[in-house]
Amino acid sequence: MTERTPIRPRDRDTIVQALAAGVVPRVGLQHIQVGRMLEVGALIKDIDRIADGGSSCRFVIGEYGAGKTFFLSLVRLIALERRCVTIHADLAPDRRIHATGGQARGLYAEAIRNMATRTKPDGGALPSVVERFISDCVKVAHAEKRPVEQVIDERLASIQELVGGHDFAHVLKCYWQGSEDGNEALKASALRWLRAEFPTKTEARQALGVRSIIDDADVYDSLKLLACFTRLAGYTGLLVVFDEMVNIYKLQSSQARNQNFEQILRMVNDMLQGNSEGLGFVFGGTPEFLMDSRRGLYSYEALQSRLAENQFATPGLVDFSGPVVRLQNLSPEEFLILLGNIRAIFALGDPANHLVPDEALDAFMAHCSQRIGEAYFRTPRNTIKAFVQLLAILEQNPALDWRTLIGSVAVDDDPGEDVATAIDGDDELATFEL
């Protein structure tokens, strides 16, 4: 079995803690990823299209615990390596794509707080993106002996043609003015505006002299402005990732659901028609969110016609050219590699410190297969949690024999039992990708 490179103890502890809880590790995804080569390849093409000035829209669909959150995290990391800016947020009862009570603004604000670049992959990258743009403008102005404001105006001319672009450009100039004058309060106000943190137009006008704020009705237009700005700042584009889309499916009001579907339709149309440059969306959801004819996307006829699967993609055939990517199950071989990767993480990448031999991996898989059948390939979160807990016991009790423990491992034989937790926004662990 192929061994992984050595792992830092801090990363090892972070990964093990996350896996034991059934959530996606914040670091070290490269140590545990296996399989899903075709799905990853399709999203890499999307990211390259964004970097070339195009646009993209994908719906990543998988069962609870099948690995959507991990897959989306991996896609974000790939986008960062391609010099994209990424933003992401989970939908929740107080965060959705369309609303009139501040929920859409809340989703936008959460996504901006999670803004990441290659040098700031953990989020909070908005100030550095703005600083990079301002610094480039200052350098050009000094080199050409022109006023900085003139250079900024020229760079932002394309933004000012977009909806809301005038105030967006004005706020960026306020940030530059604050830098010139050493006015930290003005810089902070500019960042607050860009993060959609001003609750009223009056407060924004007093702080920045603008007549608008980013509110519920402006979220999508603001994302298009942000994509344009990231390219002006020297990045290749913007990737927007929204997970837990099932929260739209859960809305009790059919009017609220349809309004969200209308906004999604607008995004889908714009992205597939190429109406935005350097912008891509990836939505993570369950099969019910997509296909339910009463409450899912398929209940909205215009979306159903755009998202329907290729009728020629019969069982055994897949088509990744459409907007929907269904996460395929792990094969037994891939699952065996995954267990080996987790074992290597416990051993910090040193085969001499493995807690169990290869024989134990086969025995654990056989145990799971007997208990829950093929479901542990389809939704492996609980199986991985059980394996991590097994290794944790062996690590703390080195005198124990793994053979006596495996038969006593309890693996949840009903993936549906996790549904209530997952609907409430619990992260989904992974069917790990290569």
Q: What is the pLDDT of residues 30-71, one digit of tens each?
A: 778 777 788 889 999 999 999 999 999 999 998 877 778 888
The confidence score (pLDDT) of residue 378 equals 57
The confidence score (pLDDT) of residue 420 equals 31
Mean pLDDT value across the chain: 87
The confidence score (pLDDT) of residue 406 equals 82
Give the Å distances, CA to CA, from 114 to 82, 125, 132, 167, 388.
18, 8, 18, 23, 29
Look at residue 211 and tell me whether its pLDDT is greater than 80: yes
Look at residue 83 and tell me whether its pLDDT is greater than 90: yes
Handedness of CA 315, 320, 326, 329 (dihedral sign): positive
| pLDDT-derived band at 279, boundaries 50, 70, 90 | very high
Kindly report the pTM of this predicted structure.
0.83
| pLDDT-derived band at 433, boundaries 50, 70, 90 | very low
| pLDDT-derived band at 349, boundaries 50, 70, 90 | confident
Percent of the chain with pLDDT over 90: 63
The confidence score (pLDDT) of residue 138 equals 94
Q: From CA 247, how far away is CA 159, in angstroms rounded?
A: 33
Give Cβ neighbours of residue 383 (< 8 Å, ≥ 6 apart): 368, 372, 376, 411
Among the listed ranges 355-359, 383-387, 407-411, which one has the minimum average pLDDT value?
407-411
The confidence score (pLDDT) of residue 8 equals 83
Look at residue 117 and tell me whether its pLDDT is greater than 80: yes
Q: Are 219 and 159 in contact (CB under 8 A)?
A: no
The confidence score (pLDDT) of residue 411 equals 56
Q: From CA 243, how far away is CA 157, in angstroms rounded?
A: 33
Look at residue 72 and tell me whether its pLDDT is greater than 70: yes
The confidence score (pLDDT) of residue 422 equals 31
Among the listed ranges 25-39, 128-142, 221-235, 401-415, which one has the minimum average pLDDT value?
401-415
Higher pLDDT, 417 or 221: 221
Look at residue 75 and tell me whether its pLDDT is greater than 80: yes
Domains and CATH numbers, the chain: 1-36+331-434 (no CATH), 38-126+216-326 (3.40.50.300)
The confidence score (pLDDT) of residue 229 equals 97
Look at residue 2 and tell me whether its pLDDT is greater than 50: no
Query: Over the stretch 305-348, which tens digit does the pLDDT of each residue have?
Result: 999 887 776 666 777 888 999 987 777 888 888 899 999 999 88
The confidence score (pLDDT) of residue 242 equals 97
The confidence score (pLDDT) of residue 375 equals 57
Query: Over the stretch 383-401, which tens digit does the pLDDT of each residue have?
Result: 888 889 889 999 999 888 8
Query: Over the stretch 137-162, which tens digit does the pLDDT of each residue have?
Result: 999 999 999 999 999 999 999 999 99
Percent of the chain with pLDDT over 70: 89
Handedness of CA 306, 92, 54, 288 (dihedral sign): negative
Q: How long, in residues, is the chain?
A: 434
